A = this chain, B = another copy of it.
């Protein structure tokens, strides 16, 4: 049981850092499906290094956006406490989520991809955000503002889908999402 917890090599940490920065830059420049080689080049490392630190593209995406997802998740309870009504809180929170997706070129597309490599992405986002959404839905249902029985996962999935191609001219993801949120209202 000799544990030899040798310190992590400094270049390794430096590279990981550089990769996160490079990936973030590449993502804004070319969307979340920026070519692997581009990201590697930006970071000044070889492609192998990417795969070592982030075995799948999803891992990289998650690492890049973790902060923002966390912030979104934490905003849920806060909004519930500060909003005039649970439905208003729900609407505001979903706006937050939509803003997040819409500003990340191609994230929504990647999110829904059922490609096995993206499983991580899918499950991370969902595990972090679905419970928050569920809380909001429950509160709104308890207040009688919406019909009960709406599944948070289905709602999130749908909202995510609506954000796909949000930047194509002639489409308006936000408007469609508003329609959905309105549709939730109890008749």
Binding site for B on A (CB under 8 A): 112, 114, 151, 153-155, 157-158, 161-162, 164-165, 168, 170-173, 175-176, 178-184, 187
Contact = CB atoms under 8 A, between A and B. Distances in A.
By secondary structure, the A interface counts as helix
Contact of A161 (B153, B161, B170, B178): B161
Contact of A164 (B161, B173, B180, B181): B161
5 contacts: A153-B170, A157-B165, A157-B170, A161-B162, A182-B182
Nearest to A167: B114
B184 A179 contact: yes
Contacts of A170: 153-154, 157
Given A154-B176, A155-B176, 16 more contacts: A114-B168, A154-B175, A157-B176, A158-B171, A158-B179, A161-B161, A161-B162, A161-B165, A161-B176, A162-B162, A164-B164, A180-B180, A180-B183, A182-B187, A183-B183, A183-B184
